[in-house]
Amino acid sequence: MFKAIFTNSFGILFSRILGFIRDLLTASILGANIYSDIFFVAFKLPNLFRRIFAEGAFTQSFLPAFSSAVYKPSFSFNILKKFFIIILLLSIIVTIFAPYITNILAFGFNNEAKNIAAPLIAINFYYLDFIFLVTFLASLLQYKNHFATTAFSTGLLNISLIISLLLSYNKSPLEIIYYMSFGVLIGGLLQLIAHLITAKNFKILKLLEIGCKSKKKPELAEQKFQKAFLPSIFGNSTAHISAFLDTWLATFLISGSISYLYYANRLFQLPLALFAIATSVAVFPKLSKYLNNNEEKKANEIMKKSFWFLAIILLIATIIGFVGAEFIVKLLFQRGAFTYTDTLNTTFVLQMYILGLIPFGLSKIFLSYLYSTHRHMKAAKISAISLGWNIVFSLILIYPMGASGLALASTLTGYLLFFLTIKEFGFANFKNLINH
């Protein structure tokens, strides 16, 4: 278990280091202004779907169904075909109706900013087409206990964006965000190529080729997958949709607020991904296997080890992140167009986010437990309740606290999410987990 966790963690760390270099260059070259806000809004929607897909939702629905499929090649290819057609059509719709979608995503922008944002939103959305194919192949690689390609390949997106920033240095802000948008697409293509190469080595492409030629009719496994998929999306999306809502509400605040939220959330996501997401991804296959085979003792042992590992390391990360927030932001971002005022504003937002690190992180492993016991719908209901309260908290805190109020609202939502997942897991089971 810990070998898989460390593989995921090192891959995520590699990617996040490149991500911070990317953010450092973005802050220095572009700063925190309306142009950076426009790019972050344009990239927010496909990135939201990427995080929901890549961080468990698809895999948690696909792998159990794949394991139970009688004819795996046919099942795999049918899922691939249906989902890719839907996502491609969705991308085309976004392109055609980009101005209307921009009015929703950037409601608080003025007309000039919306006109700039519309084509960029259309361009960035095609990243989702690449990332679905990446996630599909990653799920099959995970079934074969291969995690490294997926963990490290996200760095290719960051490398592409870094090169885009360097190539657009000294150009106008508008040109820079176009360079970055096309850099997103190139990064997605590179991720796909890396997965295709690995998938060929693991004979996954051969499996899909067999499925393509098959005349088998859809089987029960497809119905099982479809039934579990949407609940899995909602169950995994609370933190990401909260961040998305933060961005939308921040369009009503002063210029730069979206950028403050973006940079702070990027820092918050590092320990969350490095420890919580890496752990939940590594734990889920074994946890699911043990629970489906009625080996509850082994499953509880994994839960106990995962809980204490995360609880201790996330507590340390929370203390360091809160106390050292200003130093971290200043060290990483304060140069060029990113001023000391931007540092202070980002620091306040980061401190509010970091207080939610422990509940959001620990919720990951308890949600994995719910998926392993086929309680996808219950996880979705928990997420829906949490999101509802997130909206309430955000509306209450946005005006007295601005961008930092939105971050605090997200943190409060995290504690509610943690309480509800523990309640569904069982307070008695939780007590036994922490007492032994």
Write out the chain's pLDDT in tens, 436 residues. Answer: 566 667 777 877 788 788 878 888 888 888 878 898 889 888 877 777 776 665 567 777 787 778 778 888 999 999 999 989 999 999 999 999 999 999 987 877 889 999 999 999 999 999 999 999 998 999 899 888 788 898 889 899 999 999 999 999 989 999 999 999 999 999 999 999 999 999 999 999 999 999 998 877 766 777 778 777 777 776 666 666 777 777 788 888 877 888 889 889 889 988 998 888 888 877 877 787 787 778 888 888 889 989 999 999 999 999 999 999 999 999 888 888 788 999 999 999 999 999 999 999 999 899 888 887 878 788 888 888 988 999 999 999 998 999 999 999 999 999 999 999 999 999 988 988 887 6
Orientation angle between helical segments 220-236 and 357-372, nearest 10 degrees: 170
* DSSP H or E run through 45: helix 34-52
Burial of 1 from C-beta contacts in 10 A (0-12 / 13-18 / 19+): middle
Q: What pLDDT shows up at residue 68?
A: 73
- Rounded Cα distance between 76 and 73, Å, is 5
Q: What pLDDT shows up at residue 89?
A: 95
Residue indicated by tokens 């620990």: 362
Residue indicated by tokens 């605090």: 408
Q: What pLDDT shows up at residue 328?
A: 93
Largest interatomic CA distance in the chain:
64
- Rounded Cα distance between 412 and 395, Å, is 13
The secondary structure of 389-400 as a DSSP string is HHHHHHHHHHHH
Q: What pLDDT shows up at residue 255?
A: 78
